[in-house]
Amino acid sequence: MTRTDLFVGIDIGTSGVRAVALDPDLQVNAIARADFGTEDVTRRDPSVWDKALGACLADLCRKVDPADFAALSVDGTSGTILALDADNAPVGAALMYNDTVEDQRVLAEVAASAPRESAAHGASSALARAITLQQRSGVVRIVHQADWIAERLAGHPVPGDESNALKTGYDPVARQWPEWIKATSLRMNLLPEVVPTGTLTGKTGGAYGLPSGISIVAGMTDGCASFLATGASRPGDGVTALGTTMTLKLLSDGPLFAPEYGIYSHRIGDLWLAGGASNSGGGALLAHFTPAELADLSAQIDPESACELDYYPLTSCGERFPINDPALPPRETPRPEDDAEFLKGLLTGIARIEALGYQRLSELGAPSLVSVRTVGGGSNNAVWSRIRLRLLGVSAAPVLAGEAAAGSAVIARGAMV
C-alpha cells in the first residue's frame, strides 16, 4: 500500500449508483453519483444499473486518477436478486429487496424448511424470490445484485459475499449453503459460490474505463456498508439512524438471532452486525410539528434537566423493537400546554426507546453499548442528541462518512492491509 493508493466503494442503491474513493487514512478523496431515473420499473432493470454504473465511474475518474485505484468493493440492496442465462446475461427483470412473493405454496415450503433463526422467512424472502426466478426459461444461475455488478467489473463470474447471501438462506455461522435448502424446490446448483466479506475475488477486466488489474473484494449489503461508513469498527460500537423511524445497529463479537424482534446477524469478517428497527422516530415528531417548529421549540429546551412525561411516541398502533407488540398504542398524554415541554417529552420518549433497544440487544447476547454514532435527519438536532447521550450513558463518536459506498471502500482497503 502506498500513499497514493485509493480504495473505491461502489453502492448500488434504490435510486442510483454512488462511488467513493478513500485514501489509506480513510479520508474521502472523491464522490461520484449517477441516478437510475424516475420510473419505478427502471430500478428492476439490470441494464439501467449497468448504465448508471458506467456514468458514475466516468464521473469518479474525472475527479481522481483511476491509475491510483488499488482495490474496489461493491454493496447492493439486501435481498435483490436476478437470474442469468448461459451467457451470464440477465433473464428478465430483477426481483428487488422489497418485492413480495404472492405464491403461497412457495412461502409455505420456505416456512416449513428454514430454521426459526434464518433470515429467509417472510413474503419478501430472497429465497422465495429465487425459487420464483428459477421458473424462467434459460436460467442457469441466480446471483445477488452486488455479485452481478462485481462480475461486470471483472468480465467473468466471481464469488458472492456472505452478507448479501444471508436472506437467501445462507448460514453465516457454518459459512455454507445449508442442507435444509434441499427440502425446498430451489435447484441449489443455481446458487452462487459464497466467500467471506473482504475476500479478494478477482481483478477488473478493463470495463467502464477502469484499468485492468484492480483488485475486486467481496462486499456486503448496503445496510452493512452504511454502518461501516460511519467509522464504527469495534464490538460495542453502535449506530442509530434517526429517520422517519429509528434503526439501531450494534457491532458484536458473536452472532445474534432473535426473529421475534426481526433481528438477525450479518457476518463481516470475524465480527457480526446485529440490529433492530423501531416504529418510533422522526415521523412521530412530524405528526405534531413542522420542521421549522421543531427547530424553534428545540432551542427552548434544557436537555440537561429531567423530563417527567412518560411517552412512547408512535404514528399508529404497533411496534417491532425493542417491544414486539403489533397492537402497542402510542402514548403521548398528558400533553402540557407548553409546546416546548411537549416536544421535550417526545424527544425524551424516543431517546428512552433507543436506550431500551440497545439494552435489549445486550440482553439477547450482544455486547453493551460503548459508543454511538448517529445518522439521518435527527442527527442534526443538538438538543435531542444531548438528551439521547445522557440517557444512553455513552459518548458520541464522529461519523466518518454518510455514503454507504464509503463503507465498501473501507472493506476494499482492509483487504489490502
Q: Find the range with the poorest average confidence among 45-59, 117-131, 193-207.
A: 117-131
6-225+404-416 against 234-396: fold identical: yes
**What does the pLDDT read at residue 269?**
87
| 118-159 confidence digits (pLDDT tens) | 999 988 899 999 999 999 999 999 999 999 999 999 999 999
Which pLDDT band holds residue 285 (cuts at 50, 70, 90)?
Answer: very high
**What does the pLDDT read at residue 40?**
67
| 312-328 confidence digits (pLDDT tens) | 999 999 999 999 999 99
How many residues appear in the chain?
417
Classify domain 6-225+404-416 by CATH number: 3.30.420.40
- CB atoms under 10 Å from CB of 412, counted, come to 30
Q: Does the pTM of the predicted model rise above 0.75?
A: yes
| pLDDT of 246 strictly over 70 | yes
Burial class (CB in 10 A: 0-12, 13-18, 19+), 2: exposed
**What does the pLDDT read at residue 41?**
67
| Element of type H or E holding 46 | helix 46-63
Which pLDDT band holds residue 379 (cuts at 50, 70, 90)?
Answer: very high
At which residue does the C-alpha cell 418485492 appear?
99
**What does the pLDDT read at residue 43?**
86
Domain ranges for the chain, please list them.
6-225+404-416, 234-396
| Superfamily of segment(s) 234-396 | ATPase, nucleotide binding domain (3.30.420.40)
Q: Using CA atoms, how far apart are residues 320 and 332, in angstroms rounded to an integer?
A: 18
